[in-house]
């Protein structure tokens, strides 16, 4: 396993980014301004994490995704740990937003994130199609944060 920072041709990873964010237009809003990290399993991309500075002392995970065949191997956790180490000392807070999916929320909370606020109707207002996870229509964006 290795993690590389991608500085050019970030759209090369659009297929996996679309796993974490189903709307290419939304990805276009943050991808160029984000640091993109790719975790490789035997030289094959397995997971990605896009991180963007959103305030002087805050960075935000805009996209965290793993190909289905590489899930449950700890790769998303490894990327979160990597991001925390990469930005520790330069930023105070790591923020992320996600839908109301119990499995996803538990995943982040186990990694030290705490729920901070919600943006009502975010998925309805910002996506051209309904976003459904685990059979549930997502409406609000739930923000979680972790101190670095």
Domain boundaries, the chain: 2-147
Residue pLDDT, tens place only, 21-45: 988 999 999 999 999 999 999 999 9
- Longest CA pairwise span in the chain (Å): 41
Q: Is the pLDDT score of 128 beyond 90?
A: no
Domain 2-147 coded CATH 3.40.630.30: yes
- In sequence order, what E strands does the chain have? 2-6, 35-41, 44-55, 58-66, 93-98, 114-119, 132-133, 136-137, 141-147
Q: How far apart are CA 24 and CA 36, in angstroms?
A: 16
Report CA-CA distances (Å) from 89 to 29, 50, 92: 27, 19, 7
Look up the pTM and report it: 0.91
In the block, tokens 């229509």 appear at 137
Measured CA angle at 121 (ends 115, 126), to 5 deg: 110
Is the pLDDT confidence value at 140 over 90? no
Query: What's phi and psi for 126, nearest 5 deg?
Result: -115, -5
132 pLDDT above the threshold of 90: no
């Amino acid at each position: 396993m290795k993690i590389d920072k991608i500085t050019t041709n970030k759209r090369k990873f659009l297929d996996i980014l679309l796993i974490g964010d189903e709307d290419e237009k939304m990805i276009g809003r943050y991808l160029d301004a984000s640091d993109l990290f790719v975790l490789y399993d035997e030289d094959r991309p397995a997971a990605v994490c896009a991180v963007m500075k959103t305030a002087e002392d805050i960075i935000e995970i805009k996209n965290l995704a793993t190909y289905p065949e590489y899930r449950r191997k700890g790769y998303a956790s490894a990327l979160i740990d990597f991001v925390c180490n990469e930005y520790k000392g330069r930023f105070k807070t790591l923020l992320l937003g996600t839908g109301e999916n119990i499995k996803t929320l538990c995943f982040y909370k186990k990694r030290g994130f705490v729920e901070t606020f919600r943006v009502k109707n975010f998925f309805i207002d910002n996506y051209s199609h309904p976003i459904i996870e685990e059979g549930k229509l997502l409406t609000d964006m739930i923000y979680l944060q972790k101190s670095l």
